[in-house]
Amino acid sequence: MSRGIGEFEPVQAVIPEWAAVLVALVTQLGDVWFLSLFVGLIYWFHAEKREDAAVIVGFTLAGLALISALKHVFSLPRPGEPLVAIETLPWILQPLYEATAMAGGYGFPSGHALMTTIVYLGLAHRLSISTHRRRFAGAGIGIAAVCFSRIALGVHYLVDVVAGVAVGIAFLLCAERLLARYSIDHGTGAFALAIVAGTVNLVVSGVDANSVSLLGAALGAFGGWQLVVLGRHVCAADRPSDAVRPLVVRGVFAAGALAPLAVAIDEFHLFSLPARGAVRGVVLAAFVTVPVMKHSERAQRFWTALVFWTTMAALGLRFLLSPTTWRRGLTLGRQYGVRLRSWIRPET
């Protein structure tokens, strides 16, 4: 049964063939690579609102897991109504159009519509650039442009993009209410939501490359953010005793998130599915942590000291647990034992 209401013919009729590539480029405003790059740049370079940017990073990861799970739950196909036949385009534009306008997988709801809603409305709500009205107007224009392009390209029905926008708005409202309700920093809450969504996606869609990567990324981002918050607490502490509680709490959170990634990398082949997901998680943990260290002198000193003493402790533990060390210790023990006995009982 088709989900369409005859929306393709009137929309595609007003778009000339030469504009097909332009429509395909517009749809990239809602593609994963563009949204990830956009949010990542804001997180790295907008230091004054870094926690709000971290929330959007967490929402982005959660949204990607959510749309993947929903697509697998409904398993509805895409329409077969391309805007233009790729063979009719000039040969030099065909690879670009194929890379930007073609889509595979399930069609309901629209991932582009859902993700642009989460990212653009989330940024409009969280950031303080320009005025409140202009931010939301810009977000609305971006969402509308992406939704229109998905219908025009023939890769989604109207109901797909409407459902995507509706789910995105519902997710934002619920997520913001949860963050406001609980007394925990919003970055931690957002990344925790990403872990929950990633786990649900792993169960619903099966253990495939996408679901494993999303869960690994969520764990890595959560662990990295705990290190960021830990560094802030330690740097702001006036006395060592003030840093004990955050050191324990954030340390446990970070270890709980990063330990599965370390185990996956250590136990599985580097190119296996769990190891690839874990590597993505480690990369995202570094991505979350590095810009904070870069822009804070006190954080740099703290992390330098932490890395130094952690490395020294690891080397010392490795030395103590080495079989060579134990054999050398036993040999020295026997030698000193012989000397001690000869001293206590001298030969007559």
The verdict on residue 92 lying in a domain is yes
Residue 87 DSSP label: G
Q: Which domain holds residue 285?
A: 207-295
214 and 201 in one domain? no
Asked whether 122 and 179 are in contact (CB, 8 A), the reply is: no
The verdict on residue 180 lying in a domain is yes
The verdict on residue 300 lying in a domain is no
The pLDDT tens digits of the residues spanning 269-327 come to: 777 888 888 888 888 888 888 777 654 555 555 556 556 666 777 677 777 777 777 77
State how far the Cα of 266 lies from the Cα of 183, in Å rounded to an integer.
36
| Neighbour count for residue 35 (Cβ, 10 Å) | 22
Asked whether 153 and 82 are in contact (CB, 8 A), the reply is: yes
214 and 182 in one domain? no
167 and 20 in one domain? yes
Q: Residue 136: its pLDDT value, please? A: 92
172 and 26 in one domain? yes
Q: Residue 17: its pLDDT value, please? A: 82
149 and 240 in one domain? no
Strand, helix or coil for residue 241: helix
Average pLDDT, stretch 171-188?
A: 89
Out of 158, 184, 205, a domain closes at: 205
Tokens found for residue 28: 């990239």
The pLDDT tens digits of the residues spanning 71-98 come to: 999 988 888 887 787 777 777 877 877 8
169 and 73 in one domain? yes
Tokens found for residue 309: 């003493």
Out of 187, 205, 223, a domain closes at: 205
The verdict on residue 301 lying in a domain is no
State how far the Cα of 217 lies from the Cα of 199, in Å rounded to an integer.
12
The verdict on residue 244 lying in a domain is yes
Tokens found for residue 52: 């709000």
The pLDDT tens digits of the residues spanning 13-50 come to: 888 888 888 888 999 999 999 999 999 998 888 877 88
Q: What's this model's pTM, rounded to 2 decimal places?
A: 0.80
144 and 34 in one domain? yes
State how far the Cα of 9 lies from the Cα of 5, in Å rounded to an integer.
10
For residue 62, pLDDT beyond 90:
yes
318 and 285 in one domain? no
Residue 200 DSSP label: H
The verdict on residue 269 lying in a domain is yes
Out of 166, 190, 205, a domain closes at: 205
345 and 217 in one domain? no
State how far the Cα of 63 lies from the Cα of 171, in Å rounded to an integer.
8
145 and 112 in one domain? yes
131 and 239 in one domain? no
Give the count of domains, the chain.
3
276 and 167 in one domain? no
The verdict on residue 340 lying in a domain is yes
Q: Which of 147-161, 207-221, 334-348 has the lowest mean pLDDT?
A: 334-348
72: burial class by Cβ within 10 Å (0-12, 13-18, 19+)? middle
State how far the Cα of 251 lies from the Cα of 249, in Å rounded to an integer.
5
State how far the Cα of 294 lies from the Cα of 316, in Å rounded to an integer.
29
The verdict on residue 61 lying in a domain is yes
Strands (E), the chain: none
State how far the Cα of 192 lies from the Cα of 203, in Å rounded to an integer.
17
